[in-house]
Structure 1
């Protein structure tokens, strides 16, 4: 039992976290996020405080439930689950009390019920088999190969050197590399064994003696002990009604085989006299790889390399039948002809007809003109050919990469890998990520090699330029971060506060003294975000088709995520240009624009508006401008199927108003705003347009005379297109209507999604 001083200290830390959530603190304050981190550090340094902290957090959660202060429920619940994952001395009564609280939250609307269900599923297993959450998390994140739990995770950290300073990149890389040196596979296996035995045996486990024994064990003995513990935990957790007593008996046998019956009996009597408190068992940081963003193809290449080892992919015959040779990007197989040109005589068949030919061999060159044997045609449902989402199904697997029954896209094929893509930068980086995501989705319609094997999770940490006096550039480039902070207060407190901390770390002098133990605040905050941020907010991607003044230049197609800005160029059309200047048109600032758009109405009725006006520029924004519009362009995860009804662009047009008086002709400007899901804009006089996508100067289009913006549709596979062509005209129209109703959404993970 902890002393009253310890409980009072923990209570003060919890109250500090609650005050931070209740006050309207300005964005990106340097002191935010530190209270949660320091609270977890207290119990990490002294694991004996964990039961006391769990009781305090449960008391605050029950108080929030009774007072209906819902804004603190999700942050407190995430904090509680993070403590339960790492703790070893939690009683069965505390586990059951937490589980009962989560089940009561199931009556609340999303996202409370969604997160509560996820926590309840994990708590039910942890109550019967203590140590399961920690073991699965470490095995998946550290890629410790095990047949009973073969799931793997990897964090891909992408930083664009054009948007983030070299000092920030160096500081992040040094912190990641320093953490890797302390979490070798041997150390991680020792942590798993010690945690499982301490969680099951409790005070009867001589933790200090156990750690010394494992430290002195050779690699082979350590691996055998590790696999034995994993087998005991996973076999018990997989049973329909796991028994806590049966789990305890299995681990007692492993414990006695390590320390001997005499040491085990001494532990049951009085514990370890050489230690007052059990030593801390750290939770290693996930396996993070650092990448400098160079091109859109880099994301695809890194994901392919993650899936490259064929020995780690438990494939089935059904999956191999889908022609998934995309795992080797440099290998292109020739398609066999539909017509058979073989003679049917066995001696005429080439040697090894059942084996795939070597790339570059004559057999590959002749493959397009011959047929080897017969082709067994498989017809897969459209949903299997191209799933609409990369997110895994809800449950424990979404954190650890473990798929459940409905997570299998194909018979016998499970998603054994989880890729957590974390990008750092500003809104321009998210625009580049959207292009890479769109490109990846299009490639999947052709190869279909990542979707059935990989759960893709996207994360975003804003890193803005340091704010300078009389400069509003950081706020302009941080609109997505501000939107996510308004939608999810815990994201505002944990993630948005990393921006000043990252710059402060980059300014510190480098130290080469490895003997100093420094708590990596930035890496810990990123790790907490990656582990607990499982609720995505979906962002609509918009497609734009651009026509130029030069008729010989083909129209360009691009996408944008946050903003499209239109400026009026000083240059004019040539005399034989696309659109001649109309006679009698008065000269003035701006350009004469013709706009045709479908107005977004609350009644959801279709109303097409066509208008001509003179404007000096316009901006199309995909993000709402205030808290009251938070649920506009995005949708709360898994509450309903995504729909285009509430998806719209906020268009701001700077219109030129001409007035005539005795002094002469004058011009003034006024800003008009409206909402639409699609729009067509064309210049009517000799002025050309310049388009800037996602605030990125590298994505600028000049000499534009016309462009149209629509919702970017979900990429369609060749099989789906051929299916549409084989239908009647009415059925084709119905299929196209269905396809248009599925826009392409890019999910960014947060802690709670959109909190209404």
Structure 2
């Protein structure tokens, strides 16, 4: 195919992506998200198309910036950066234009400036030493040992077997297993060496001959070349002078001078593709609230003591027990047989001369040693984290914040599949993790926790147990981030279609796994979180001997009136004639939500049949037809819908009608007034149902231990401490999207 034909084909694919983004209502459900995937597949199969695609995408971005077409800027920028990470042969002029474009976006409001800044930082690294982003991504995701880049990542895929069908679980596992069966550490090392040499030497690099030489090499020789290439790339990323000559020496030592720039066989018309391996994903069936905590602890245990380079000594996060001292067994399901004892890490390393590294170059100071907590005495790590990272007290602040510029070596990307009920379970696990971590200070100093969500709803049954919409949070994410809507929310039909397909016994490998590719794209490019308020509900029961229960919910709390009443002392009153009025008399006291942020308490008494408290704004609240929603971090209120029973009298006698009232609040207390019992449903999950409730209170869930801090008493030389009460910070659960909330 000629160059003009290649560019015309790529241009048509890019225009298809733009048409999908510009459509008010997505055209075809089956094609949503496919255009972006097919575009990346074209350059993956033929890497020579990458420079042309970068040039086309950059031209469309510059046009969108001139014409102020902001709805296409971030999706095209994510698509462009994903091509650049994989590509080789990008000219310096294209790098420079892309970098200048990103700096122009810094004048725009968030999230445009936030995403553009992240892209500009990565582009600056890639411009100085091409191939660095690819190398760091593979090292982190595949847990390849490196002294100069010791970052580790892991992707945890959690599926609730009670909410997702076994066929879907099996289909996802088979696709993940088929894609990862060939991604051994040796294969990934060869990919890193090949990509680095091709990025440095360009067309003069004979990839086929180099690939054959590496495949014939012993494991020790391959590991030696891998460490040599990585060391050269990381050292030259700080001082780029001479890196190309160093890599050319490695190339000549592998193939000999006969394959140098002036000799060897003729170059092939199309260089072979060097794939970017998908991240190693461990598959877990969600069976226990403690499972997330345990898996993260197992992830943090080191396989060996790392020897960090001098500029990363301040990031030394050791102090963990050896593997044989940790006796916890895995709580994974039988589906997790593909799990390996690997760790993975973050994607970016600050430059040695950057202000971040200057702030990170701290001297070590002794931390305060504490005794391990008894129930978890076998957990690795000191309670106060590594010395030299926290403030001089040896203990982090209430929010677990590290010193500026100091990055965590470990990144856990937790991806959950399911509906709003699964997110309710995730919120419970997240709250438990934060509460335990604030008390013991174990995970926060060592781990960057990133949460991802792919909606998978079960097929509708003839008789549904509830008429609640189980995909409200996914719909909200789609409204907030249109690229999430086009790329992630469209996966549900594809996942069910994959589950319905019979397994192929003749083809051992899955060809072009669409779902796994989209998951990989999401966890790599979805870096902008949307924060959701977690609410706590305290319930009091009719049985006074039963202690009050305290639970949390994320999306919805529904209240229904039970048919039974509390037993009264003495004879029951005589029944009156006429139809009994439905519902129950409730006393409702709430803090009215005002734009002025002032508190106004309202107390009302009414008869109702049902209450629904939603934590997500809806179109009926924000205004019909509106596609703009307030930021979740600023929208800290519940939308309460009350189905009120209104009595009326006419010539035919007394009657009643139903009227739905809505209001906003952040704190509310509700109590039954006529001995009628209440049933509470949390996050639409029948497994989280609480009966025989007579009173309950709802408030934003506070960040654990955020309402108090210690300070020194006034006076010279005084070492006494006092507790100062502060307003507790709300506990917000982040879910990563591509752009955050796009206004």
* Mean CA deviation greater in 308-317 or 614-623: 308-317
**1:302 to 1:589, Cα distance in 2 relative to 1, 3 A:** same
Cα deviation, 1:146-168, whole Å, max 9, x if unaligned, reads 11111110000000000000000
May I ask how many residue pairs the two structures share in their alignment? 674
Specify every segment of 5 or more residues in structure 2 that has no aligned partner in the other structure, as ranges: 329-368, 378-389, 716-720
The structural deviation recorded for 1:466 is 2.5
String of CA shifts for 1:606-663, please: whole Å, max 9, x gaps.
Answer: 111000000001100000112748544613xxxxxxx6xx310000000000001121
**2:137 counterpart of 1:137:** yes
Q: Show the counterpart of 2:90.
A: 90
Give the structure 2 partner of residue 400 of structure 1. none
Decide whether the 8 Å contact of 2:32 with 2:487 is kept in 1. yes
C-alpha distance 317-594 of structure 1, shift in aligned 2 (>3 A):
farther
- 1:604 is matched with which residue: 582, 594, 597? 597
Shift of 1:358: 13
| 1:567–1:689 CA contact under 8 A, matched in 2 | yes
Counterparts of residues 233-312 of structure 1 (less than 5 Å): 233-239=233-239, 242-243=240-241, 246-266=242-262, 272-273=265-266, 275-309=268-302, 311-312=304-305
The residue number in structure 1 matching 2:399 is 387
Cα deviations by residue, 1:174-217 (Å, 9 ceiling, x for unpaired): 11111111111010000000000000110111111111111111
| 8-17 or 378-387, larger mean C-alpha shift | 378-387
Against the structure 1 CA distance between its residues 581 and 187, is the aligned structure 2 distance closer, same or farther, given a 3 Å change threshold?
farther
Q: Is the 8 A contact 2:178 2:509 kept in 1?
A: no
Over 3 Å counting, the alpha-carbon distance change for 1:308 and 1:3 in structure 2 is same
Determine helix, strand or coil for the equivalent of 2:670.
Answer: strand
User: In 2 relative to 1, CA 204–329 (structure 1 residues): closer, same or farther, beyond 3 Å?
Assistant: closer
Compared CA separation, residues 569 and 147, structure 1 to 2 (3 A): same
Give the TM-score taking structure 1 as reference length.
0.83
Q: What secondary structure does 1:421 align onto?
A: strand
Q: What is the correspondence of 1:25-64 to structure 2 with a 5 Å cutoff? A: 25-26=25-26, 29-64=29-64
Distance apart, 1:751 and its partner CA: 0.1
Partners of 1:321 and 1:103 lie apart in 2 by 34
In the alignment, what sits opposite 2:613?
620
**Secondary structure in structure 2 of the residue aligned to 1:723:** strand
- Asked if 2 retains the 8 angstrom alpha-carbon contact of 1:624 and 1:633, the reply is no
1:81 maps to which residue?
81
Instruction: Give distance in 2, aligned partners of 1:474 and 1:27.
Output: 27
Deviation at residue 604 of structure 1 after TM alignment = 1.8
Given that 2:155 and 2:282 are in contact with CA atoms closer than 8 Å, whether structure 1 keeps it comes out as yes
**Greater alpha carbon shift after TM alignment, 189-198 vs 439-448:** 439-448
Partner of 2:7: 7
The answer (yes or no) to whether the contact 1:425–1:462 under 8 Å persists in 2 is: yes
User: Which residue is equivalent to 2:502?
Assistant: 509
- The answer on whether the counterparts of 2:206 and 2:267 sit within 8 Å (CA) in structure 1 is no
Instruction: Give TM-score, length-normalised by structure 2.
Output: 0.85
Displacement after TM superposition at 1:574 (Å)? 1.4
- Structure 1 position 215 matched with structure 2 position 240: no
Q: 1:748 aligns with which of 702, 710, 735?
A: 735
With over 3 angstroms needed to count, the CA separation of the structure-2 counterparts of 1:324 and 1:257, relative to structure 1, is closer
Counterpart CA distance in 1 for 2:152 and 2:319 is 24
Q: Structure 1 CA distance, aligned partners of 2:650 and 2:47?
A: 81
Counterpart residue number, 1:370: none
Q: Superposed, which structure 2 residues align to 1:347-366 within 5 Å?
A: none
Give me the whole-angstrom Cα distance separating, in 2, the residues matched to 1:83 and 1:76: 11
Name the structure with the higher helix share: 1
Structure 1 residue 30 displacement after superposition: 2.2
Residue of structure 1 equivalent to 2:343: none
CA contact (8 A) 2:317 2:409 kept: no
Q: Is the 8 A contact 2:140 2:151 kept in 1?
A: yes
Instruction: Determine the C-alpha separation between the residues in 2 that align with 1:119 and 1:650.
Output: 37
Decide whether the 8 Å contact of 1:325 with 1:449 is kept in 2: no
In 2 relative to 1, CA 101–508 (structure 1 residues): closer, same or farther, beyond 3 Å?
Answer: same
Q: Please give the alpha-carbon distance, in whole angstroms, between the structure 2 residues aligned to 1:618 and 1:177.
A: 45
Give 3-state SS (helix, strand or coil) of 2:146's partner: coil
Q: Which SS does the other structure have where 2:31 is aligned?
A: coil
Corresponding residue number in structure 1 for 2:582: 589
1:198 maps to what in 2? 198
Distance 1:45 1:472, change over 3 A: farther
Name the CA shift for 1:301/1:608 in 2 (closer, same or farther; >3 Å).
same
Cα gap change, 1:173 to 1:517, in 2 (>3 Å): closer
Q: Select the residue among 620, 630, 647 that pairs with 1:658.
A: 647
Name the counterpart of 2:449.
456
Say if 1:358 and 1:427 are closer, same or farther in 2 by CA, change over 3 A. Answer: closer
Q: Deviations over 1:457-514 (max 9, x none)?
A: 0000000123578979797000011000000000001101110000000000001224
Q: Would you say the 8 A contact 1:582–1:685 is kept in 2?
A: no
**CA separation of 1:24 and 1:189: change in aligned 2, threshold 3 A:** same
Q: In 2, Cα distance between the equivalents of 1:447 and 1:118?
A: 32
Alpha-carbon distance between aligned partners in 2 of 1:450 and 1:292, rounded to the nearest angstrom: 22
Conserved? CA contact 2:179–2:509, under 8 Å? no
Cα shift readout 1:105-135 (whole Å, capped 9, x = no counterpart): 1000000000000000000110110000000
Q: Sort the Cα spacing of 1:173 and 1:60 in 2 relative to 1 into closer, same or farther, 3 A.
A: same
Q: Hey, what's the Cα distance between the residues in 1 that align with 2:557 and 2:59?
A: 48
Q: Is the 8 A contact 2:105 2:112 kept in 1?
A: yes
What is the CA-CA distance between 1:446 and the residue it aligns to? 2.1
Cα deviation for residue 232 of structure 1 reads: 0.6
Q: CA deviation at 1:449?
A: 1.2
Aligned counterparts, 1:493-532, within 5 A: 493-514=486-507, 518-532=511-525
Question: In the aligned structure 1, how far is the partner of 2:486 from the partner of 2:214?
Answer: 39
Unaligned runs of 5+ in 1: 332-354, 365-377, 393-404, 409-413, 636-642
Name the structure 1 match of 2:385. Answer: none
Aligned equivalents of 2:702, 2:320: Cα separation in 1:
24
